[in-house]
Amino acid sequence: MKRHFISKLENEINLNSEFSEKKLLDFCHVSFGKYFNNLVKVGKLVPRECDIFKEKLLYFSYGVPYYKPRNMQTENALEFPIAFIFKIDAFKNIIDYFPFDTGCIYSSRISGLSGKGFEPPNDFCIHSNPEKLVSCFYKTNENYLKGIIRKDNIPKGIIIEKIITYLSANYSSQGIDNRQRTIECIYKDELNIKSNLLWLAFPDFLTKKASILWDKSDAFEYYSYPTETNENPAHLATHIAKKAKEIFKYKYQKP
């Protein structure tokens, strides 16, 4: 169900007439090998209880499958990441777009931040047209996917200024990754995987299991990434994100 109110951020963005980026990107979701059997069997993503917003939600990232699992070496292949990229048309019912990862902001991951200055959350999201967030904070899709914050002719607004300050800060020493500058998409409905899948990345040992989707879905691209006995899931997730940007660069690079 779509929101019917205009947030403070949305109002500030709408007061600025320049929207340089009009091309939509795709919607991405990251899971893990231990959930893959069930996802293939059920054929859909199901909302789960969110500790931050206290309701059942699905989370997607806009444009690239950024997600950072725990930074560890493991021989448990079920901890290896799986990435889904879905068709744009499947997401007409996104309820909120945040210009940052809400987990970083509202779960005290960043020392000294703890959501201060970002309350209430409803002031810091918009409810449609994620390309407006790209235009406001990055100007172009290409800059957005590289994490390059807009530095000139920044739209005016108190909320916009707070977000720009956060996006421009360097929190890497605290283990914060590219999700700091990734648009987060919140969805309340179940999502059918088979009919909406555009691209799938999975560890090579799951190729046979993934092939079940090929028989039940419209055509989609896939990437079976090579793995060794001992891997770091965080490094694999970064590799997947780079591969996705390489494959879908035609969606954001200028001719």
Q: What is the residue extent of each domain of the chain?
A: 8-251
Confidence of residue 234 (pLDDT cuts 50, 70, 90): confident
In what helix (H) or strand (E) does residue 58 lie, and over which residues does it extend?
strand 56-62
pLDDT tens, position by position, 117-135: 788 899 999 999 999 999 9
> Which of 19-23, 74-78, 207-211 has the largest mean confidence?
74-78
Kindly report the pTM of this predicted structure: 0.89
Confidence band (pLDDT; 50, 70, 90) for 248? confident
In this structure, what is the dihedral angle of CA atoms 197, 200, 206, 211, given to the nearest 10 degrees? 40
Among residues 147, 150, 153, the alpha carbon closest in space to that of 170 is found at 147
Q: Could you read off the pLDDT of 143-178 as tens digits, one per residue?
A: 999 999 998 888 899 999 999 999 998 887 777 778
- Name the residue with tokens 């999700």: 179
Rounded distance between C-alpha atoms, residue 125 and residue 27, angstroms: 17
The closest of 238, 229, 202 to 37, measured between CA atoms, is 202
Instruction: Tell me which amino acid residue 108 is.
Output: S
pLDDT level of residue 4 (50, 70, 90 thresholds)? low
Q: Which helix (H) or strand (E) holds 209?
A: helix 207-216
Residue 218 scores a pLDDT above 80: no
- Per-residue pLDDT band for 77 (boundaries 50, 70, 90) equals confident
What is the percent of the chain with per-residue pLDDT over 90, rounded to a whole number? Answer: 45
